[in-house]
Amino acid sequence: MHNPRYNILRWILALTGLVLYVVDIGSDVGLGLEYLRDGHYAWGGLTLAFVLTGLIGTQAFSYAWYSDEIQEASLISSMTDVSGMSKNAFFGLHLFGMGIFTRYYRLLKKGFRVVWTKTPFYASEEKITQQHKIVVDMATDLSMLIMFEAFLEGAPQLILQVYIMLQHDTEPSNLRCVTTALSFCSIAWALVDYQRWLRRSLPQVKEMPCGFPLVIYLLYKLCTITAHILSYCLLLTLSIYSVVAIAFVWLLGTIWAYVLKTDFCGEWTKLERLYRAMVGVVLTFSFFNAKGKDTKLPMIFYYLLHFLLNTLAPILLVVIKPEVLTSKYFLPVTWVIFGGTVLGLICLCVYYAGLHPSKNQRAVDEPDGLEKPIQTAAMRRMRNFMQP
């Protein structure tokens, strides 16, 4: 069983993540206002709506998790790491969209004390490990929320901006280029960060090693998601009513979560429905194991459909709208779709064939008579959350 540690590099990366999050949200809001100023009210409204959707979704889950922690802290005296705030105080912060910032503040503050403050000589190894585990759990919760935000706001934002570029075949503004690049970066950051923190937080599960496996995993996710997003954009260029087909893909993913009977939110029944809808959003763009079970066959089926869609989208567009060949963006986008699909699937096979950390690591036997660790709300979330 691994012993998670929080170090200086991870603290710096958390600070970097906060900066990227602020810049990403700020650039999207700025772009939405630019559209409204130029009279493109539909584009501006959609851009701001995606930002608002991401904020609302993440605030709902963040507040529910805080509520669980506060309830546990009131029952178990050793669990006091909720900043001494009440549910009403946390509700107020989340009502004004400050849930993510609150979590970043707590993580950076607690992490600073753990990695930058000299440990007293009399502190036991158990106490030190507990402090590191608290910070790791906080970072894992945050990575889950950032991934939610990436798929609720970042991915739809990319579809919109690339669609506008393809549909009008005009030079995009500098702000639109920056926004598009940041959205791709934020999704890539969120996926890698989520994968590593989730595995790091789960007991008796091997961590993803740094270096080559990490690069291959990043390429797998980035290439497949990029190709899929661009395919959706081509379908929307073919017909705006293709949004119905995309919504149908989301519906299938949501139904799949219901079939699996996910149990991520525990007693929060209504929030579980939102979680299953969130699973549908994620599956619209990338494959994830929604219930921690063997998903070899569902993954094969998913990526067969993925390959079929990515192949048919450019072909249908050429057949039905041959004038698209005169667009300066069509051929580059098509090459990215085909190249990203092939490279992504190759990286997927390489990663799962020889680089994926073993999920069948043998559990460490516990001596008889010892008290088992308390299953906290954070531990239950990590155990029931989507597995990469």
pLDDT tens per residue across span 341-352:
999 999 999 988
Q: Quick one: pLDDT band at residue 79, thresholds 50, 70, 90?
A: very low
Answer for the pair 99, 59: CB distance below 8 angstroms, yes or no: yes
Is residue 4 helix, strand or coil? coil
Question: What is the C-alpha separation between 61 and 94, in angstroms, rounded?
Answer: 10
In this structure, of 172-176, 193-197, 309-313, the range with the lowest mean pLDDT score is: 172-176
Nearest-angstrom CA–CA distance, 225 and 314: 16
Whether pLDDT at 375 is above 90: no
CA atoms within 13 A on the CB side of 353: 8
Question: What's the farthest any 2 CA atoms get from each other in the chain?
Answer: 75
Residue with tokens 């579980």: 272
pLDDT digits (tens, 9 = 90+) for 135-162: 888 888 898 899 888 889 888 988 988 8
pLDDT on residue 372: 39
Beta bridge partner(s), residue 387: 289
> What mean pLDDT comes out for the span 182-196?
76
Q: What is the DSSP letter of 289?
A: B
In degrees, to the nearest 5, what angle opens at C-alpha 203 toward C-alphas 200 and 206? 55
**288 within 8 A of 279, measured Cβ to Cβ:** yes
Q: Measured at the alpha carbon of residue 19, what is the angle toward residues 17 and 25, in degrees to the nearest 5?
A: 100
Is 272 a residue whose pLDDT tops 60? yes
| Of the candidates 105, 96, 71, 75, the residue with the CA atom closest to the CA atom of residue 86 | 71
Instruction: Note the pTM of the prediction, 2 decimals.
Output: 0.84
In this predicted structure, the answer to whether residue 285 has a pLDDT above a threshold of 50 is yes
